[in-house]
């Protein structure tokens, strides 16, 4: 039996959720509900990079783990479409400056193809993320839920106990909120702006407000000067984030939700909402899925830095499973991605598939690998662990324009023994990815070609290794596979008292005029044994 410590993180979290008995902030039992929810959400502004997928991928894993423990659960994605527009994103006409401060749900579609600004982005978002998800969440909009009155009871409840709300919020504030602070933020009935309204009174039913200018970082939301009353029953407005998040949890019966690691700190919005949720809304806080954010080459992704990785860029050069692997393997480990990591991620996925197939490792390791693969794998996807690794594919794709030729070469190398349709499809797909990868992400120095004799720097080649080239060539000619060649080189060095690394090094210099490269066994086959042996004999 495998102990719970060794379970995969999503299984561990699911086990914790299933076994929960009491509230965290109050002496209360967790209710028995017919349906719980794993929630994910995001705003619809901002750049749609691969980092935006992380919350959904992790939420999906917890949702699946819960389902497998027979816990009644649904997967839900909520669009934060009440968020105000703060600046004019690239591609949006300057005339949209008049909508600064409006909820994005209430702004027209600048491209004219959807009902509104947010719906345009939502469709794009869902279309982009769906190839990476194995389970598709139910979609909800905050604006629509407010309009339906979904939060009315909770809003009245919180407005009625505003002193208790202020007491919780003030414990985490440097500048305390005034005792007459009003949480409700109306949308101006006259101009439609959200950010410009300032609440000045509450009579138990309606919030009295004025509409005035509001300064964002770079833009100003223009107030219209209107003085009006926002009837809470009509719900034309919103609660602040520190209480709205709690209302979402109660409304959807959320038992788990992801959040970046900055929310782990006890004075973050997550924990403040957790306390509001349990103490003022009488609903247990969800179990958080805290995770690290993805960095690219060690820095945060941003359009201005030009290092944004789009999901569509990923799918040009790699399988969706590799991105899932990156997100799912461990939760709290700084993750920096660089395009150079793609071959390694592909290799990691190949090894994972192989380890699970071959039941490698002790019981604990095996279960870990098996569960990780289970969550990484997409339905109907072909995952073939293979000696034909991505690095070899990159090399072959550069040397052979046609997949069929490369496929035959792989047969010669002893990498592909079966000619089954499945294997062939896998090889062709990998070659296509590798070809794109070489074209898009390899620098001139990283590209593979057999250099001219005139380019070889004889001085750099180890003199003892050079002496072995002639006899080595004779042995390489007899090799039957790429692995044979690796073994021959190793043996030739060892039996002549030379460190094998020095001989490998010398061969790279003779063929590529650099001291490293893809596995020499495959490289020799890819260039052709004859050509390579001729080169080795020429160097003295
Ligand atoms: Zn549109
Ligand atoms: Zn107004």
- Nearest ligand, CA of residue 115? 1
User: How much distance in Å is there from the Cα of 228 to the middle of ligand 2?
Assistant: 9
| Helix residue ranges, H only, 232-382 | 241-252, 269-279, 311-317, 320-328, 342-357, 363-376
Q: How far apart are CA 388 and CA 410, in angstroms?
A: 8
Contacts 24+ apart (CB under 8 A), 440-443: 440/316, 440/317, 440/339, 441/317, 441/339, 441/340, 441/342, 442/394
Q: Ligand 2 centre and the CA of 184: distance in Å? A: 16
Q: How far is the CA of 85 from the centre of ligand 1 (A)?
A: 16
To which residue do tokens 């030009």 refer? 306
- Sequence-ordered alpha helix ranges (H) in 192-295: 241-252, 269-279
Q: Report how far ligand 2's centroid is from the alpha carbon of 149 (Å).
A: 23
Report CA(165)–ligand 2 centroid distance (Å).
27
pLDDT for 436 beyond 60: yes
Distance 197 CA to ligand 1 centre (A): 28
In the structure encoding, which two tokens stand for residue 226, read together? 């209107």
The band of 1, judged by pLDDT with boundaries at 50, 70 and 90, is very low
By DSSP bridging, strand 220-221 and strand 287-291 are: unpaired
- How does residue 334 score in pLDDT terms, banded at 50, 70 and 90? low
Q: What is the mean pLDDT of residues 322-339?
A: 87
Instruction: Give the integer Cα–Cα distance in Å for 532 and 468.
Output: 14
In order of 87, 393, 396, 398, 434, the CA distances from 390 in angstroms are: 42, 5, 10, 12, 7
CA of 109 to the centre of ligand 1 (A): 5
Q: Please measure the distance between the N-terminal and C-terminal CA atoms of the chain and give it in whole angstroms.
A: 62
Question: Ligand 2 center to residue 108 CA distance, Å?
Answer: 18
Tell me what the pLDDT averaged over the chain comes to. Answer: 93
Ligand 2 centroid distance, CA of 198 (Å): 10
Q: Report CA(46)–ligand 1 centroid distance (Å).
A: 16
Mean per-residue pLDDT for 153-160?
97
Count, residues in the chain:
540
- For the cut 50, the answer to whether the pLDDT of residue 478 exceeds it is yes
- Looking at all shown ligands, the one closest to residue 122's CA atom is 1
Ligand number with the minimum distance to the CA of 109: 1
Closest ligand relative to 111 C-alpha:
1
Residue 99 CA, ligand 2 centroid: distance in Å: 11
pLDDT at residue 56, as a whole number = 95
Give me Rg for the CA atoms of the chain.
Answer: 30
Look-up: residue for tokens 């062709």?
A: 428
Q: What is the pTM of this model?
A: 0.91
pLDDT of residue 5: 62
Nearest C-alpha neighbor of 346 from the set 407, 396, 389, 393:
389
Question: Which pLDDT belongs to residue 49?
Answer: 86
Q: What is the pLDDT of residues 356-405, one digit of tens each?
A: 988 888 888 898 899 999 999 987 776 776 678 999 999 999 999 999 99
- Report d(CA 179, CA 432) in Å as an integer: 64
Q: How far is CA 152 from CA 22, 146, 165, 168, 244, in A?
A: 27, 8, 17, 21, 12
Tell me, in angstroms, the distance from the centre of ligand 2 to residue 244's CA. 23
b/e code 127-150 from CB counts within 10 Å (16+ = b): ebbeebbbeebeebbbbebbeeeb
Ligand nearest to the CA of residue 123, numbered in listed order = 1
Please check whether residue 17 is in contact with residue 56, taking contact to mean a CB–CB distance below 8 angstroms: no
Average pLDDT over residues 429-452: 94
Cβ(117)–Cβ(57) under 8 Å? Answer: no
Q: What percent of the chain has pLDDT over 90?
A: 78
CA of 448 to the centre of ligand 2 (A): 63
Residue 165: its H or E element: helix 162-170
* d(CA 90, ligand 1 centre) in Å: 15
Q: Which of 75-79, 306-310, 322-326 has the lowest mean pLDDT?
A: 306-310
For ligand 2, the distance from its centroid to the CA atom of residue 194, given in whole angstroms, is 8
Residue 308: per-residue pLDDT: 87
Task: For residue 107, give the ligand nearest its CA.
Answer: 1
Strands 36-42 and 254-260: parallel
Q: Token pair for residue 16?
A: 């914790």
Q: Which ligand is nearest to the CA of 117?
A: 1
pLDDT digits (tens, 9 = 90+) for 162-209: 999 999 999 999 999 999 999 999 999 999 999 999 999 999 999 999
Starting from the CA of residue 225, give the closest ligand. Answer: 2
Protein residues placing their CB within 5 Å of the ion ligand 2: 188, 190-191, 211, 224, 226
Nearest ligand to residue 221 Cα: 2
From the CA of 114, how far away is ligand 1's center (Å)?
Answer: 4
Nearest ligand to the C-alpha atom of residue 114:
1
Residues 298-313 pLDDT 10s: 888 887 788 889 899 9
Ligand nearest the Cα of residue 224 is: 2
CA of 371 to the centre of ligand 1 (A): 40
Residues in contact with 90: Cβ distance below 8 Å, sequence separation at least 6, in sequence order: 303
Q: How far is the CA of 355 from the centre of ligand 2 (A)?
A: 63
Phi, psi angles (nearest 5°) of residue 499? -65, 125
* Residue/partner pairs of 196-201 with CB below 8 Å, 24 or more apart: 196/101, 196/221, 196/222, 196/223, 196/224, 197/223, 197/230, 197/237
If you measure from the C-alpha of residue 123 to the centroid of ligand 1, how many angstroms do you get, rounded to a whole number? 8
CA–centroid distance, residue 223 to ligand 2 (Å): 5
For a pLDDT cut of 70, what percent of the chain falls above it?
Answer: 98
* pLDDT at residue 160, as a whole number: 95
Give the model's pLDDT for residue 46. Answer: 67
What is the model's pLDDT at position 115? 95
Say how many CA atoms lie within 13 Å of 381 toward its Cβ.
19
Distance in Å, CA 195 to ligand 2 centroid: 9
Mean pLDDT of the region 79-103: 93
| Least trusted range by pLDDT, from 121-125, 192-196, 340-344 | 121-125
Of 311, 369, 317, 375, the residue nearest 345 (C-alpha): 317
Do 368 and 374 meet the contact criterion of CB atoms below 8 Å apart? no
For residue 214, the CA-to-ligand 2 centroid distance in Å is 11
CA 113 / ligand 1 centre spacing (Å): 4
| pLDDT band of 48, cuts 50, 70, 90 | confident
Q: Which pair of tokens denotes residue 514?
A: 């650099």
Ligand 2 centre distance from Cα of residue 24 (Å): 41
């Amino acid at each position: 039996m495998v102990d719970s410590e060794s379970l995969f993180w999503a299984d561990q979290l699911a086990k914790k959720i299933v076994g929960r008995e009491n509230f965290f902030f109050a002496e209360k039992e967790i209710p028995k509900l017919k349906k719980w929810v794993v929630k994910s959400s995001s705003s619809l502004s901002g750049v749609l990079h691969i980092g935006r997928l992380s919350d959904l991928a992790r939420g999906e894993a917890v949702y699946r783990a819960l389902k497998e423990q027979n816990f009644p659960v649904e997967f839900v994605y909520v669009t934060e479409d009440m968020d105000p527009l703060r600046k004019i994103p690239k591609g949006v006409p300057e005339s949209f400056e008049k909508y600064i401060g409006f909820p994005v749900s209430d702004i027209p579609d600048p491209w004219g193809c959807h009902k509104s600004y947010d719906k345009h982005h939502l469709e794009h978002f869902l279309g982009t993320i769906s190839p990476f998800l194995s389970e598709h969440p139910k979609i909800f909009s905050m604006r629509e839920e407010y309009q339906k009155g979904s939060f009315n009871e909770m809003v009245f409840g919180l407005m009625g106990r505003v002193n208790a709300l202020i007491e919780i919020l003030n414990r985490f504030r440097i500048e305390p909120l005034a005792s007459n602070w009003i949480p409700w933020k109306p949308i101006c009935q006259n101009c439609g702006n959200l950010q410009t309204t300032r609440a000045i009174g509450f009579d138990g039913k309606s919030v009295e407000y004025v509409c005035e200018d509001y300064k964002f970082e770079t833009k100003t939301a223009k107030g219209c000067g209107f003085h009006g009353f926002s009837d809470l029953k009509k719900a034309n407005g919103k609660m602040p984030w520190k209480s709205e998040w709690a209302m979402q949890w109660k409304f959807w019966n959320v038992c788990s939700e992801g959040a970046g690691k900055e929310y782990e700190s006890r004075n973050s919005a997550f924990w403040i909402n957790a306390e509001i949720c349990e103490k003022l809304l009488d609903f247990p806080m969800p179990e958080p899925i805290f995770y690290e954010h993805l960095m690219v080459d060690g820095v945060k992704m941003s359009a201005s830095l030009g290092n944004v990785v789009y999901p569509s860029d990923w799918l040009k050069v790699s399988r969706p499973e590799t991105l899932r692997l990156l997100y799912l393997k461990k939760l709290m480990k700084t993750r920096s991605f660089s395009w150079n990591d793609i071959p390694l991620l592909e290799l990691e996925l190949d090894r994972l598939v192989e380890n699970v197939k071959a039941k490698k490792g002790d019981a604990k390791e095996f279960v870990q690998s098996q569960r990780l693969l289970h969550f990484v794998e997409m339905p109907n996807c072909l995952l073939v662990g293979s000696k034909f690794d991505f690095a070899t594919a990159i090399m072959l794709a550069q040397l052979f324009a046609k997949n069929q030729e490369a496929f035959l070469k792989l047969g010669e190398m002893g990498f592909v023994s079966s000619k089954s349709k499945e294997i062939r499809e896998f090889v062709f797909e990998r070659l296509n990815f590798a070809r794109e990868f070489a074209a898009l992400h390899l620098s001139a120095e990283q590209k593979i070609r057999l250099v001219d004799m005139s380019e070889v720097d004889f001085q750099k080649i180890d003199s003892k290794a050079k002496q072995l080239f002639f006899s080595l060539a004779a042995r390489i000619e007899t090799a039957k596979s790429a692995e044979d060649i690796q073994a021959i080189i190793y043996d030739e060095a060892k039996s002549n008292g030379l460190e094998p690394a020095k001989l490998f090094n010398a061969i790279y210099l003779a063929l590529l005029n650099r001291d490293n490269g893809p596995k020499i066994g495959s490289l020799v086959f890819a260039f052709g044994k004859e050509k390579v042996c001729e080169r080795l004999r020429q160097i003295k």
